[in-house]
Structure 1
Amino acid sequence: MWPFRRRARQSATAATLSIDPAMGDPTAAALRAALQQRDWPTARDLLTPITDPDDHAYYLGVAGDVSGVQDWIGEWIDAEPRSTLPLLVRGVHAVYWAWEARGGARASQTRQEQFREFRKRLTLAENCLDEVADRDRDDTTARTFLVTSARGRQVDRDEAQRRFDAVTDRHPWHRIAHEHMLQYRCRKWFGSHEEMFEFARSAAVKAPAGSALGQLVPIAHLEMWLDLPVGEDADYIGAAAVVAELNAAADQSVRHPDYQRRPGWPVVHNLFAMGFAMAGDFPSAVAQFEVIGDLVTEWPWQYHSSDAVGAFLAARQRVRGDHG
């Protein structure tokens, strides 16, 4: 989840493990390869059959995270002007491209030329995404990434809520839209700790049993932990009430019989694994690490260290050392 604030670098290295940007997903790997090779017909054929709103947003996010797309995407748009898909790829990619220009540092550490390029690229993104939304009344993916860009464009609360509602009116439990709206409500952006927790808890409780939206609870607790001074952060995340809430969220989501892994699922389990590990519930953390295997994701581990893989491995070793 970008942008983020990084903790101090750890000394641990992970030469034997790396982050797979496709998260072990063959379709995502094929899509990345096609876009890296400027093979838009193959990318189109991979994306067109995907109709589930959550899956569609995930795979468009995969496409958006491929470097260099901005250099040639116009060829696809010109070749298929009646299709919204290449325009959507350009818009989603421009969101990622914008944050690449800004970087992950705090505003006080970001140069003005970075901000100018950031705003320029976000404007391109929103122009593309708005056009897709105008042309496709049922679209959820363009509207989801407009929720993402809401933070960068610093839109007011009413506009951010309007963008979010435009997604959830069409797909109430959209995972990625909820992730990004939760970020908007964090104190580090435009909300508060109280708003963040209210949003996370309400969505998790209202979502159907087995929904991945239970992940919003560990996200909120990790955000709170990240915002506290050293010393207070450990006391907070290890509190009995936090451990109990993490377990309740897991019981209604990733540990519920109705839960099903969907594309992008490693992020959900990495969130719970980090939450349980930080909270000291090692048995619950071990269970999540067993599901994950080696599919470490950069988010949320970069919250702990700029060496996300090292943080993942250190946590996994720690919890396994005490339990199994």
Structure 2
Amino acid sequence: MGESTVGGPRPLVTDPFGAEPALAPLRDAAWDGDWPAVRAFFEGIPTDEAPGVENLSLAAALLAGVERTEWFLEKAVKDWPADPLPRTLLAERYVHLGLRARGRGPAENVRWDAARQCHDWLCKAELLLIEVCAEEPAYVPAWTTRLSTARGLGLGQSEARRRYDRLAEHHPHHVHAQSQLLRQLSPEWGGSWEAAHGFAEECVSAAPQGSHAGVLVAEAHLEHWAALDGAEAEEYLRSTTVRDELRRAARVSVLHPDHHRDWRWTDSHSAFALAFSLGGHVGDSAPHFAALCDTVSESYWRTVPDWRTRFTEYRTAAAQAKL
């Protein structure tokens, strides 16, 4: 696994556009500043079923990470003022720019000027999204992005939940939106671990088996682990209670016979592989590493020091455990 016949191990694929070939046309259109091609890509995503709505929000988030896209998205907003898509995509880009300006880490460690820049970008995004949601109350991608602005602007638990409830009226098992609310429910944003873990389990119980909802359990435990220090952090994911919750979540989601691979596959398997590996549950991590091979979602693994080396080491251990 992950070995090359010549030249040693293959490099890890961390670019989500490289991990999922179907997304490559979106990246190419963004690089070219080609709005008609970007719009055609999103219009080609079937939204009459749940996976399509999920893919729509995921693609919007990925587009937001492509550099210098705001210039042609701003032009698209001017040229198509009644269309919710360009405004939502531009808002996603503004959120990305705001969070990048803020940087990582707790609020008390963020510089004043960085916090101000973040606030300004998020306000610009929120103004666009307010318009879209007023005109198109069932437009799920806009409500999903408004969960990010609610958290970043410090609008509180009740407002975030209100936005999620509006979204859930139209799409009750939207994992990308649930992941956003899950972060809001953590202590860092005024919630509690009881609320975060409870919400994750609630989503898994309500979702169809074989969906990606199980990843929310892994995300909640990884967030909880990251908030701990020293021996407490080391022991947290090793607990049999946490292990069993992760096992159940994996079984009813990405390891379920009804599961079908879609654009979230790298994120879901990366989260489970990381949680099981950090907990020392090598055998449980094996099917997730087998699915990932040389692909990994950096958004989860970068929380681990020297994460590329650790990923390779954990993957090797998982492969040996299968023998």
Normalised by the size of structure 2, how large is the TM-score? 0.91
Cα distance in structure 2, aligned partners of 1:227 and 1:108: 15
Identity among equivalent pairs (%): 30
- Cα deviations across residues 20-71 of structure 1 (Å, max 9, x unaligned)? 1315222322111211211111111111122221111011111111111223
8 Å CA contact 2:175–2:212 kept in 1: the answer is: yes
Given residue 313 of structure 1, which amino acid in structure 2 is its aligned partner?
T
Aligned to 1:168: 168
Cα distance in structure 1, aligned partners of 2:281 and 2:293: 18
- Map residues 124-203 of structure 1 onto 2, 5 A cutoff: 124-203=124-203
Aligned to 1:261: 261
Match of 2:37 among 26, 35, 42: 42
CA RMSD of aligned residues (A): 1.7
Question: How far off its partner does 1:78 sit?
Answer: 2.4
Q: Does 1:92 align with 2:92?
A: yes
8 Å CA contact 1:282–1:323 kept in 2: the answer is: no
Cα distance in structure 2, aligned partners of 1:282 and 1:142: 39
Further displaced range: 162-171 or 48-57: 48-57
Does the residue aligned with 1:68 lie in a helix, a strand or coil?
Answer: coil
Cα distance in structure 1, aligned partners of 2:173 and 2:245: 20
Cα distance in structure 1, aligned partners of 2:31 and 2:275: 34
Cα distance in structure 1, aligned partners of 2:236 and 2:105: 25
Aligned to 1:315: 314
Aligned to 1:81: 81
Cα distance in structure 2, aligned partners of 1:300 and 1:261: 19
Q: Does 1:62 align with 2:71?
A: no
8 Å CA contact 1:102–1:114 kept in 2: the answer is: yes
Question: How far off its partner does 1:174 sit?
Answer: 0.2
8 Å CA contact 1:210–1:252 kept in 2: the answer is: yes
8 Å CA contact 1:218–1:271 kept in 2: the answer is: yes
8 Å CA contact 1:23–1:266 kept in 2: the answer is: no
Q: Does 1:24 align with 2:19?
A: yes
Question: How far off its partner does 1:107 sit?
Answer: 2.2
8 Å CA contact 2:11–2:294 kept in 1: the answer is: no
Given residue 72 of structure 1, which amino acid in structure 2 is its aligned partner?
F
Cα distance in structure 1, aligned partners of 2:85 and 2:63: 11
Does the residue aligned with 1:72 lie in a helix, a strand or coil?
Answer: helix
8 Å CA contact 2:35–2:72 kept in 1: the answer is: no
Question: How far off its partner does 1:319 sit?
Answer: 2.7
8 Å CA contact 1:129–1:146 kept in 2: the answer is: yes
Give the paired residue count: 310
Question: How far off its partner does 1:89 sit?
Answer: 1.1
Higher relative contact order, chain-length normalized (CA < 8 Å, sep 6+)? 1
Structure 2, unaligned stretches of length 5 or more? Answer: 1-8
Aligned to 1:4: none
Cα distance in structure 2, aligned partners of 1:37 and 1:254: 35
Does the residue aligned with 1:267 lie in a helix, a strand or coil?
Answer: helix
Question: How far off its partner does 1:108 sit?
Answer: 2.6
Structure 1, unaligned stretches of length 5 or more? Answer: 1-13
- Cα deviations across residues 206-229 of structure 1 (Å, max 9, x unaligned)? 222112111111111112221222
Does the residue aligned with 1:213 lie in a helix, a strand or coil?
Answer: coil
Further displaced range: 246-255 or 274-283: 274-283
Cα distance in structure 1, aligned partners of 2:109 and 2:233: 24
Cα distance in structure 1, aligned partners of 2:18 and 2:238: 29
Cα distance in structure 1, aligned partners of 2:220 and 2:265: 18
- Aligned in 2, Cα 1:135/1:183: closer, same or farther, shift over 3 Å? same
Normalised by the size of structure 1, how large is the TM-score? 0.91
Further displaced range: 89-98 or 62-71: 62-71
Cα distance in structure 2, aligned partners of 1:260 and 1:116: 42
